[in-house]
A = this chain, B = another copy of it.
Amino acid sequence: MKILVVGSVALDSIETPFGKVDEALGGSATHFSCSASYFSKVGVVGVVGTDFPARHLEFLTKMGVDTDGMEVASGRTFRWRGYYEFDLNHAHTLATELNVFEKFHPKLPPDWCDAEIIFLANIDPELQLEVLEQVTNPKLVVCDTMNFWIANKKEALNKVIEKVDICLMNDSEAREYCQTYSLLDSANKMLSQGPKTVIFKKGEHGALMFTDSTHFSAPAYPLEEIKDPTGAGDSFAGGFIGYLAKTEDFSEQNIRRAIIYGSVMASFNVEGFGTDRLARLEVPEIGQRYLEFKEISRFE
C-alpha cells in the first residue's frame, strides 16, 4: 500500500550531551519518510525554501521517498534550534523559525490522492484537514500532533481526531488534550471522538495502545547509545505505519506487531543525530531488533 505523509521538512540545529549538529535534515515528514521507506512506498507533501540544500532532496529520493509533493517556495526553509540535557525525554526549544511554513497549504500530486494510507504528521491541524479534503478513498488515516496545537488550535484538532482511524500522541500530550492525568481516561475520551485505536508514545518507557476493548503495553528498549532523540516519535510512526502498509492488515494483532516495528525504528533513530542512523540502517538489523524486543518482554 502507498503511504502519503504531510508534515514538516526542516533544518534542525541540535545539541545534546553527546554532541551537536547544525542545520541537519529534520522535520516530522522527513523522519517519518526515512523510517517508513524501509517498509513501503512513501510520498511526502511539504514545503522547503529556495535555500534547501539539493543534497537533502537527493537523499530522500535515494531512500525511495517520492518528493513530487514537496513544494519549493521562495524564502527560507523552516528551522528549529534546540537542546537536550541528560533527561532526553524533554526537548528545550531555543528558536523556531516557521519561514516558508507560514503561508503553506498542502497540494497533493494527482498520483497521490488515491494513497491507501494517510499520515497526518505533526503540523497545523487546519492543514491536516486540507489534506483530508484532497484524498479520494483512504483505507487508513493516522494523525499525530503536538502540545502547541492542543493549546492553540483545539477545535481544528478535534475535527481531525474525529476523522482518523488511529490517533498517535505523546502521553503528556494526551493528558493535556483530555485534561486528565489518567491515560485510561484519556484513551476512552479520545476513542469516544471517533478513532478505533489510540497510541500513546512514552519515549524511553515504550508505548501504550488502547481500543474500546483491549490494551497493549509495548516494552521499553534499554539503549546502549542515545545521541539525539529528535524525530523518535516520527520514526515510530514510520515503522508503525510502514509495517501496516507492507502487511495490508489492520487487525488488532497486527497493530501490536506494528507498534513493535515502530519502537524498533525509533530505537535506531535516536542512535544518531538527525537521520544519520536511519540513513545507514541495514534491513536485517530491523528484524534482529524486533526479536530483541520479543526477548526482553517475554515471560510465561
- Are B297 and A217 in touch, CB under 8 angstroms? yes
A260 CB contacts on chain B under 8 angstroms: 299
Instruction: Count contacts on A: residues with CB < 8 A to the other chain.
Output: 38
- Are B184 and A208 in touch, CB under 8 angstroms? no
Knowing A216-B297, A219-B217, A297-B297, the reply to whether A184 touches B256 (Cβ < 8 A) is: no
Partner pick for A220 among B87, B210, B217, CB 8 A cutoff: B217
Is the CB of A149 closer than 8 A to any CB of chain B?
no
- Are A217 and B184 in touch, CB under 8 angstroms? no
Knowing A181-B87, A220-B208, A220-B217, the reply to whether A256 touches B202 (Cβ < 8 A) is: no
Is the CB of A62 closer than 8 A to any CB of chain B?
no
In the assembled complex, the Cα of A51 lies from the Cα of B259 at a distance in Å of: 54
Is the CB of A294 closer than 8 A to any CB of chain B?
yes
In the assembled complex, the Cα of A222 lies from the Cα of B207 at a distance in Å of: 12
Is the CB of A296 closer than 8 A to any CB of chain B?
yes
- Are B224 and A184 in touch, CB under 8 angstroms? yes
A224 CB contacts on chain B under 8 angstroms: 182, 184
Is the CB of A163 closer than 8 A to any CB of chain B?
no
Partner pick for A183 among B208, B210, B216, B222, CB 8 A cutoff: B222
- Are A206 and B217 in touch, CB under 8 angstroms? yes
Contact with B along A204-223 (1 / 0, CB 8 A): 01101010001111111111
In the assembled complex, the Cα of A102 lies from the Cα of B284 at a distance in Å of: 59
In the assembled complex, the Cα of A261 lies from the Cα of B251 at a distance in Å of: 30
- Are B219 and A184 in touch, CB under 8 angstroms? no
- Are A219 and B86 in touch, CB under 8 angstroms? no
Which of A206, A220, A256 has most chain B Cβ within 10 Å?
Answer: A220
A223 CB contacts on chain B under 8 angstroms: 182, 184
* Those of A249-264 within 8 Å (CB) of chain B: 253, 256-257, 259-260
In the assembled complex, the Cα of A300 lies from the Cα of B297 at a distance in Å of: 11
* A–B complex contacts, Cβ < 8 Å, 14 sampled: A182-B223, A182-B226, A205-B205, A206-B206, A206-B217, A216-B296, A217-B219, A217-B220, A217-B296, A256-B299, A257-B299, A260-B299, A297-B297, A297-B299
Residues of A within 8 A of B (CB): 17, 86-88, 181-184, 187, 202, 205-206, 208, 210, 214-224, 226, 253, 256-257, 259-260, 294-300
Given contacts A187-B222, A256-B300, 9 further A-B contacts (CB under 8 A): A182-B223, A182-B226, A183-B222, A205-B205, A205-B206, A206-B220, A219-B219, A257-B299, A257-B300
The 5 tightest CB contacts between A and B, nearest first, are: A217-B219, A86-B181, A205-B205, A256-B299, A184-B222
